[in-house]
Amino acid sequence: MKNYQRERERQVEKVVPVVGAFTLFIMCIVLFNSSLASPAPCLVISILSILIYLLVLGLGRSWQGFLSAAGGTSTKQGWYNYVILLTGIGLVALVVYMTGGAYSSYKNLFLPVILVFSLRHGLTWGMVACSLAGAAIFSFAWLAEPGWLQNPYLEADLVTTGIFFLATWLVAKTYQELMRSFAIRERSVRLAALGKMVANTAHEIRNPLTTLRGCLQIMQYSLRNRDPAWYSGQAETFRIMLAEIDRMNTIISDLLLFARPLPPRKQLVNLNQIAREMGLLLDCRARLHGIEIQVRQCRNGRPVEVDPDQLKQVIHNIVGNALEVMSSGGVVQIAVQEKGGQMQLEIRDNGPGIPPEELPHIFEPFYTSGKKGGAGLGLAISHRLVEENGGRLSVGSELGRGTVFTVQFPIAEAGAGKEGANSLKEPLTMV
């Protein structure tokens, strides 16, 4: 966040001198024209030109940081911004007044101050500046021709003020998107650096874990043969130790896969076959939780071009998460269908569901959603694997009714000949 603010300050520092120089250039033109028409106010206009330039240039500096260092509160900073804004608008209004008021050709000089203030303090302050500038412009029109309906300057002043508001909104929104893009880029750079560090660390941790597991298995085997009575009382301890080592290895594998993903090796795949194989593979684990696995296949399923191993990893991660949060007696359904010109794989459960406030973050790295154990990378890895294979992964959930993950892939060209049926076969239940 600090880097984001520093980048914002740097960008404003680049823009403000340019706007200030432009303002000074316009002021020089005003000075030249005024000197030809009336030499008397030349000195005053020159001073105002310099003041406006310094003001616009100074708006880009960290006034709020200065006040914070001096012990100022946010209220004081807000009043300070008002003072700066009123001073800038007032100086420009004075120049417009001296060059003809409602007849002046320099009303657009409000725009540099408005834009710089919008860049420095955001869209709200920019709109406040537009309102003040519009009030000054309409005041000049009123002084020249009292009465609104018969005022010949009303239409032109309305257009000018509207341009001020539109330009301010466009500049502020564009700048906001620019800063958001910078924040995303900075986050990606940090994640890349973190990924390299995690990969190196994970390799260093995995080696001693492998050695530790091997030594523990040898010890388990020796004690079981030498002293069966003693070992029978410690068997559960050995089982827990080996299970925890396996869990750590799983976390390290996820970290390595997230930090250094392998490119997909795509080939033509039938989703029916993938769903059937994963249903059989996960059935034993589901039985331990008292959960039923159902597989619904699509008639005339058309092939997709994906990496089958990576797709199996996606299904394994999603179903694994469902098994961990579901109570005994639940159902997990893996369904394949053709929909909207794409092959679709749905993984649906009747578990507790995901709170609505957590759904936008469900695919973020290291987000665990209250789940015990794990690094919170399974769904993030799944989301990336699906996208790298040219697909789309989405999620929908309702508290108390369950969650559905939908994986969509475009139909491969090789299977684009005959339109397949959308109906599903009867559930293939693992019993």
Where do the structural domains in the chain lie, given as residue ranges?
2-187, 267-429
pLDDT digits (tens, 9 = 90+) for 244-300: 777 777 777 766 666 666 788 889 999 999 999 998 888 888 887 788 888 998 887
Average pLDDT over residues 392-421: 76
At residue 108 the predicted structure's pLDDT band, cuts being 50, 70 and 90, is confident
* pTM of the predicted model over 0.85: no
Those residues with Cβ within 8 angstroms of residue 426's Cβ, 6 or more apart along the chain or in another chain: 296
At which residue do the structure tokens 């341009």 appear?
Answer: 163
Which phi-psi region, left, alpha or beta, contains residue 369 (left: φ > 0; alpha: ψ -120 to 50)? left
Which of the two residues, 49 and 168, has the higher pLDDT score? 168
Lowest mean pLDDT among 83-92, 109-118, 230-239, 295-304: 230-239
pLDDT digits (tens, 9 = 90+) for 315-371: 988 998 888 888 777 889 999 998 888 899 999 988 888 888 888 888 887 767 655
Helix (H, G, I), strand (E, B) or coil at 269: strand
Quote the pLDDT of residue 351.
84
Those residues with Cβ within 8 angstroms of residue 92's Cβ, 6 or more apart along the chain or in another chain: 52, 109, 110, 113, 133, 136
DSSP 8-state assignment for residue 108: G
| DSSP codes of every residue in 357-373 | TTGGGTTSTT--TT-SS
Residue 10 has pLDDT above 70, yes or no: no
Tell me which amino acid residue 232 is.
Answer: S
Report the candidate in 320, 324, 403, 313 with the shortest Cα–Cα distance to residue 358: 403
pLDDT digits (tens, 9 = 90+) for 119-152: 777 777 778 888 888 888 888 877 777 665 566 7
Residue 37 has pLDDT above 60, yes or no: no
Which of the two residues, 258 and 42, has the higher pLDDT score? 258
Range with top average pLDDT, 146-160, 166-180, 335-349? 335-349
Average pLDDT over residues 165-187: 79
Question: Rounded distance, CA 242 to CA 219, Å?
Answer: 12
Length of the chain equals 431
Residue 2 has pLDDT above 60, yes or no: no
Question: Rounded distance, CA 258 to CA 260, Å?
Answer: 6
Report the candidate in 330, 335, 333, 356 with the shortest Cα–Cα distance to residue 345: 335
Contact 363, 258 (CB under 8 A): no
At residue 5 the predicted structure's pLDDT band, cuts being 50, 70 and 90, is low
Helix (H, G, I), strand (E, B) or coil at 11: helix
Which spans in 227-306 are helix H? 228-259, 271-288
CATH homologous superfamily for the domain 267-429: Histidine kinase-like ATPase, C-terminal domain (3.30.565.10)
Report the candidate in 175, 182, 183, 177 with the shortest Cα–Cα distance to residue 60: 175
* Letter string b/e over residues 132-141, b meaning 16 or more CB atoms within 10 A of that residue's CB: bbbebbbebb
Those residues with Cβ within 8 angstroms of residue 193's Cβ, 6 or more apart along the chain or in another chain: none
Range with top average pLDDT, 8-12, 77-81, 332-336? 332-336
What's the whole-number average pLDDT of the chain?
Answer: 73
DSSP 8-state assignment for residue 426: P
Quote the pLDDT of residue 422.
40
Percent of the chain whose pLDDT exceeds 90:
10
Residue 72 has pLDDT above 50, yes or no: no
Report the candidate in 298, 350, 336, 293 with the shortest Cα–Cα distance to residue 316: 293
Q: Which residues pair with 332 in a beta bridge?
A: 293, 349
| Structure tokens that stand for 184 in this block | 């995303």
At residue 212 the predicted structure's pLDDT band, cuts being 50, 70 and 90, is confident
Number of other CB atoms surrounding residue 39 within 10 Å: 9
Quote the pLDDT of residue 406.
93
Quote the pLDDT of residue 12.
52
pLDDT digits (tens, 9 = 90+) for 14-29: 555 555 555 555 555 5
> How many helical (H) and strand (E) elements, i.e. helices and strands, does the chain have?
11, 8
